[in-house]
Amino acid sequence: MKDRDEHLVWKDVSSRLIKRCGIFDLYESQRRTQNGRQGVFHLLTAPDWVNVVPLLTDERGRSCFLMVRQFRQGISSITVEFPAGLVEPGETPERAAERELLEETGYRSQSLQPIGTIVPNPAFMNNRCHTFLAEDLSRHAPAGGEHGPDELELLDVLLVPVDTLLARIGRRPYCNSMTALALYWYQRGIREEGETGADRSRTGV
């Protein structure tokens, strides 16, 4: 870190584990600045996340995303999101993306490409979210079957036209911030490559 940033840095004086919560660990960290200011911060140590943007065409030839509907405990409401999940110990983000796509939708991708990585909330979290574009999709298992979602996940799989998501992102049920972020990565890739969503889609239904 450059010396010009040292006055902004908080360094650990002590840290203790408060609780292990399965998908994250809660720590209490006492930290101090270069000029002696001190504070206590509550921080979450969490595995990295993956987001998968599965792209295909429907029977009418429209470019669509393969998405999931589920009840979200935090807001006690139904959302529609891209398939997503945690990177398990020993997994690469790409392998986790392949697994989550299969578990949540029953589909595999022959073309899985990373399109963006970001830190979801650096104020109190330490993990990253890796987003992948999944094309050339083929169905391998029924959603919820042998390779289905976790025990506490209840999912419906649906096709959402690309234009619909672009028009409604940010409004329920399309209100998950990681879905909005994944849509941004997708759009940026389209702009950079000079292609349209329809040009990039693959038949897979």
Region 62-77 average pLDDT: 96
Rounded to 5°, angle at Cα 145 from 142 and 147: 100
Q: What is the pTM of this model?
A: 0.85
Would the pLDDT of 205 be above 50?
A: no
Question: Which tokens sit at 203?
Answer: 């038949």
125 pairs with which residues across the strands?
44
Q: What is the pLDDT of residues 114-128, one digit of tens each?
A: 999 999 999 999 999
Question: For residues 33-62, b (16+ Cβ closer than 10 Å) or e, as one string?
Answer: eeeeeeeeeebbebbbbbbbbbbbbeeeeb
Question: Which tokens sit at 156?
Answer: 């419906």
Domains of the chain (ranges; CATH) run 3-45 (no CATH), 49-200 (3.90.79.10)
| pLDDT band at 188; cut points 50, 70, 90 | very high
Would the pLDDT of 46 be above 60?
A: yes
- Count, in order, helices (H) and strands (E) of the chain: 4, 10
